[in-house]
Structure 1
Amino acid sequence: MSLITADQLHRISPVARSDIVAAIIDKADEMFPAYGLATLLRVRHFLAQVAEETGGLRVLEEDLDYSAMRLMQVWPARFPTLATAEPYAHNPRRLADRVYGGRMGNTGPDDGWKYRGRGLLQTTGKATFALLQHDTGLPLVDQPELASAPEHMLQCAVVSFVRIHGVLAACDRNDVVGVTRLVNGGLTNLAARRLYLAHCDHAIAELGAIGAVPA
C-alpha cells in the first residue's frame, strides 16, 4: 500500500491535475521517509502548503500575467501608479526581471525570469535554487525547470520544506501559522492554507506503507 493515494489527493483538491497527482504518488514512498515526513502532522502540513502553492495541485510555474491594476495591488511600492504598472502588464518575463531582479541571488539580466517560482512549493530565486541543488544533487542552477519535472518535483519540494525552510518543528506543534511563515516568508493566503490543512486532516487518516505514526 502506498503512503499516499490518488483518492486522498483528490479529496484534498478535487481539481488536482492527474499528472501532478501521479508524480507525488510515484515518489512519496521513497521521499517522505527519506527526509523525515513520516508522521501524520508532517505529511498533512506538507501537502496543505503544496496544495495552496500550486492552486490546488494545478500550477507548477508562477503565473506572472497580471493586469496593471493587479500589479498595483500586489506590488504597491514598485507600481504606485497605472503609468508605472502598464509597461509590465501582461508581460510575464519583463515583470519577473523587474520584481525579482537584483535580489534572492539573482544577478544576471534575465535571472528574475529564469528563477521565477517553480515546482510544488514555487521555489524562487537563484540562491534558493542553488541551495536546492546542493541538497538534491540536481543541476537546478542551470536547469531550474527540473523543479517542475515529474521525476523530480516531489524531491525538490520535500527537500525545500524540510531542509531549506526547516519546518518540521512547526509541523510537530501543528502550527500552521509558523509553517506558513517559514514556507511563504509571510502569511499570504493563510485562510486557504488552513482550509487545505483541514482537507488533509480529513483525507489522510493514516499513512499507508509505513503505517500511521502518532500525530
Structure 2
Amino acid sequence: MQLNASIIAAGCGATVLRAAQWLQPIQAACDKYGITAPLDAAAFLATVGVESARLTLLRELWGPTDEQKRYDPPSDKAGALGNTDPGDGFKYRGRGCIQITGKANYALCGLALDLDLINHPELLEQTADAALSAGWFWHNNKLSALAGDFLAVSRAVNLGNPHSKSMPNSYSERLALYTAAKKSLGIQTT
C-alpha cells in the first residue's frame, strides 16, 4: 500500500507537515513488516498516532508515576518486562512509535532491527528506528490478524480501560483516529 502525507496525517492525527516528515519511515516500516492491507494500515496508523501523541513523542514521559515505579524490580511488572536491575524501568521506558517497553522487549527489538538497544535504548527515539520498531511490534504481536477488530488491537497494545475519559490512551481517541484513517484510505465506515 502506498501511503501519502494526507493518509498519515488523518490516521495519526498529525499535521500534514509532520506527516510528510514521517512518510518515508512509516512507509518503510509498513513495507518491511507487510502492513499493506488498507484495514491493517488504518489500524496501524491509528495506533501509532495515539502511542506517539500524534507523532510528537517518541519517549514515555516519566514522573515516575506509581505504575512506572513498578517497572523496576522486585515487582511482577518488572519481571514481566525483563527489568532485572534498579533503574531498568527508566532506562527501558517506552520508546518508539508504539512505545517498546522493558529490557526484554528492547533486546528482542534490537535483534530484529540489528540495533544495540540494550546499550543504546535512545536509538528508538530516532525517526527511522522509531517507525521500524512500531512495525516490528505490530508484526511480532500478530496485530495484522486483528485489524478488523480494532478494540482487540487496542487491548493488545495498551488500552487500559476502554471507557475511561481521563486516560491518555483511551479507546475514544483511538477509535476516532481509526475512523479517520479508514476514511482517508477509502474504506467504508459505519
Q: Fold-level match, TM-score > 0.5?
A: yes
2:155 is aligned to 181
In angstroms, what is the RMSD of aligned CA positions? Answer: 2.4
1:82 is aligned to none
2:45 is aligned to 47
1:52-63 pair list within 5 angstroms: 52-63=50-61
How far, CA to CA, are the matches of 2:156 and 2:135 in structure 1? 14
How far, CA to CA, are the matches of 1:53 and 1:195 in structure 2? 14
Runs of 4+ off more than 6 Å: none
Alignment of 1:124 with 2:101, yes or no, is: yes
How far, CA to CA, are the matches of 2:125 and 2:116 in structure 1? 13
1:194 is aligned to 175
Q: Structure 1's 28 and 3: CA in aligned 2 closer, same or farther, altered over 3 A?
A: farther
Alignment check: 8 A CA contact 2:8 2:14 kept: no
Q: Sequence identity, in percent?
A: 27
How far, CA to CA, are the matches of 2:61 and 2:54 in structure 1? 14
2:165 is aligned to none
Q: Structure 1's 159 and 107: CA in aligned 2 closer, same or farther, altered over 3 A?
A: same
In terms of Rg, which structure is larger? 1
Alignment check: 8 A CA contact 1:32 1:38 kept: yes
Alignment check: 8 A CA contact 2:29 2:134 kept: no
Gaps of 5+ in 2: 163-168
The TM-score normalised by the length of structure 2 is 0.80
2:166 is aligned to none
Q: Structure 1's 50 and 14: CA in aligned 2 closer, same or farther, altered over 3 A?
A: closer
1:1-215 pair list within 5 angstroms: 3-13=2-12, 15-16=14-15, 18=17, 21-65=19-63, 71=65, 75=66, 96=68, 98-102=69-73, 103=78, 104-163=81-140, 165-171=141-147, 174-184=148-158, 186=160, 187=162, 188-205=169-186
How far, CA to CA, are the matches of 1:44 and 1:26 in structure 2? 17
Matched to 2:178, the amino acid is: L
Alignment check: 8 A CA contact 1:166 1:182 kept: no
The TM-score normalised by the length of structure 1 is 0.72
Structure 1 residue 54, shift from structure 2 partner: 1.4
Q: Structure 1's 195 and 166: CA in aligned 2 closer, same or farther, altered over 3 A?
A: same
1:177-197 Cα deviation digits (max 9, x unpaired): 111121127455112111110
How far, CA to CA, are the matches of 1:28 and 1:45 in structure 2? 13
Q: How many residues align?
A: 174
Structure 1 residue 17, shift from structure 2 partner: 8.5
Aligned with 1:152: secondary structure?
helix
How far, CA to CA, are the matches of 1:28 and 1:13 in structure 2? 11
How far, CA to CA, are the matches of 1:123 and 1:39 in structure 2? 24
Structure 1 residue 108, shift from structure 2 partner: 1.8
Alignment check: 8 A CA contact 2:8 2:23 kept: no
Alignment check: 8 A CA contact 2:13 2:177 kept: no
